[in-house]
């Protein structure tokens, strides 16, 4: 349902036309029901880019904040006289990492599915792939908050659990 020219806001409006209930149900599908494989039904033929955009933006903030907090806590106990300072570079690195993952991975998968696997374009659209990959990152929001706990083992366990939930969501929904 393309509306307007590709360089107009009206063209992209169709993928941002969701309400809070839609986004909440999709985040619930991506986390609590990650093994169900029912994300396409939850989208009801209307994949969105609103949720993935804000999930990535939230993760950029949490990653930069958590990284700076951890750096602050590690420098707090040192007595070498060096002042702690906020590292603004963490924001650009986080942005490239999360938004890059949410855009580059679906592009590559879309090309592989269409060009090499012979999957018809009607089975999974590009926007559906971006939406699925974006919502797969939902689980990393609580994981990012848990990573401020000063236990390396706990951080790794949280990250691995989040990775398992995200991977199972992707494996069951990208077919």
Mean pLDDT for the stretch of residues 141-164:
92
Which range marks the domain in which residue 53 is found?
21-76+88-173
Average pLDDT over the chain reads 87
Distance CA 164, CA 21 (A): 26
Question: CA 66: distance to chain centroid?
Answer: 17
Is residue 71 domain-resident?
Answer: yes
Is the pLDDT at 80 greater than 80, yes or no?
no
Is residue 128 domain-resident?
Answer: yes
Is residue 169 domain-resident?
Answer: yes
Is the pLDDT at 81 greater than 80, yes or no?
no
Domain count of the fold of the chain: 1
Residues whose CB falls within 8 Å of the CB of residue 123, separated by 6 or more in sequence, listed in order: none
Is residue 9 domain-resident?
Answer: no
Q: What is the pLDDT of residue 37?
A: 82
Question: CA 103: distance to chain centroid?
Answer: 10
CB atoms within 10 A of CB 60: 20
Structure-block tokens of residue 140: 């990393």
Is residue 14 domain-resident?
Answer: no
Distance CA 52, CA 16 (A): 10
| pLDDT range class, residue 121, cuts 50, 70, 90 | low
Is residue 102 domain-resident?
Answer: yes
Model's pTM, two decimal places? Answer: 0.86
Is residue 97 domain-resident?
Answer: yes
Is residue 151 domain-resident?
Answer: yes
């Amino acid at each position: 349902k393309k509306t307007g020219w590709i360089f107009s806001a009206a063209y992209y409006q169709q993928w941002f036309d969701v309400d809070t209930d839609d986004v909440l149900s999709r985040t619930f599908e991506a986390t609590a029901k990650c093994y169900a494989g029912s994300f396409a039904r939850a989208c009801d033929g209307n994949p969105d880019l609103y949720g993935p955009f804000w999930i990535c933006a939230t993760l950029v903030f949490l990653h930069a904040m958590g990284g700076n907090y951890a750096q602050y806590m590690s420098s707090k106990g040192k007595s070498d006289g060096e002042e702690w300072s906020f590292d603004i570079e963490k924001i650009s690195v986080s942005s490239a990492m999360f938004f890059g993952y949410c855009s580059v991975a679906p592009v590559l998968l879309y090309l592989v599915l269409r060009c090499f696997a012979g999957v018809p374009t009607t089975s999974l659209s590009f926007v559906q792939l971006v939406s699925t990959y974006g919502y797969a990152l939902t689980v990393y929001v609580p994981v990012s908050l848990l990573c401020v706990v000063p236990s390396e083992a706990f951080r790794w366990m949280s990250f691995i659990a989040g990775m398992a939930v995200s991977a199972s969501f992707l494996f069951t929904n990208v077919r």
